[in-house]
């Protein structure tokens, strides 16, 4: 099952791609895959050095085995960002993974595995 969520540039100052960047990210979207055995994604945050974004998927859950398309509309901004994922905790709270660096302009796919987050 695929979930589609949209990011509004006005709400997310940092969600940006270079107009001339290469890869799917340069076209304004990338795919997020939840490849975990039993973890639910409830948060997806980026930081371009100016602070953490709002939750890109606020109100949306990406269940194990599902994927979603992240769309963003800004045509300028930092490609190099830090990514952090929020998972649904057993008590309903949000549990955060360790942040990782990501080139948001080059990323076509973001893979969330049980013990690893990576992109291509």
Nearest to 110 by CA among 92, 97, 91, 94: 97
In whole angstroms, what is the distance from residue 22 CA to residue 57 CA? 24
Check whether 109 has a pLDDT greater than 50. Answer: yes
Check whether 101 has a pLDDT greater than 90. Answer: yes
Is 2-119 a CATH 2.60.40 domain? yes
**pLDDT value for 77:** 67
CB atoms within 10 A of CB 120: 11
Threshold 0.85, pTM exceeds: no
pLDDT interval class at 20 (50, 70, 90) = very low
**pLDDT value for 117:** 92
Determine contact, residues 29/71, Cβ cutoff 8 Å: yes
In whole angstroms, what is the distance from residue 20 CA to residue 100 CA? 24
Who has greater pLDDT, 56 or 99?
99
Q: Which residue reads 């979207």 in tokens?
A: 29
Determine contact, residues 25/108, Cβ cutoff 8 Å: yes
In whole angstroms, what is the distance from residue 116 CA to residue 100 CA? 10
């Amino acid at each position: 099952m695929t979930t589609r969520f949209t990011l509004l540039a006005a709400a997310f100052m940092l969600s940006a791609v270079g107009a001339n960047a290469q890869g799917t990210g340069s076209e304004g979207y990338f795919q997020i895959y939840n490849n975990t055995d039993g973890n639910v994604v409830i948060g997806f945050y980026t930081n371009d050095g100016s602070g953490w974004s709002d939750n890109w998927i606020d109100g949306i859950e990406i269940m194990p085995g599902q994927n979603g398309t992240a769309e963003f509309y800004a045509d300028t901004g930092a490609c190099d960002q830090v990514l952090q994922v929020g998972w649904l905790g057993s008590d309903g709270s949000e549990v955060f993974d360790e942040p990782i660096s990501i080139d948001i302009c080059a990323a076509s796919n973001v893979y969330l595995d049980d013990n690893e987050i990576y992109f291509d």
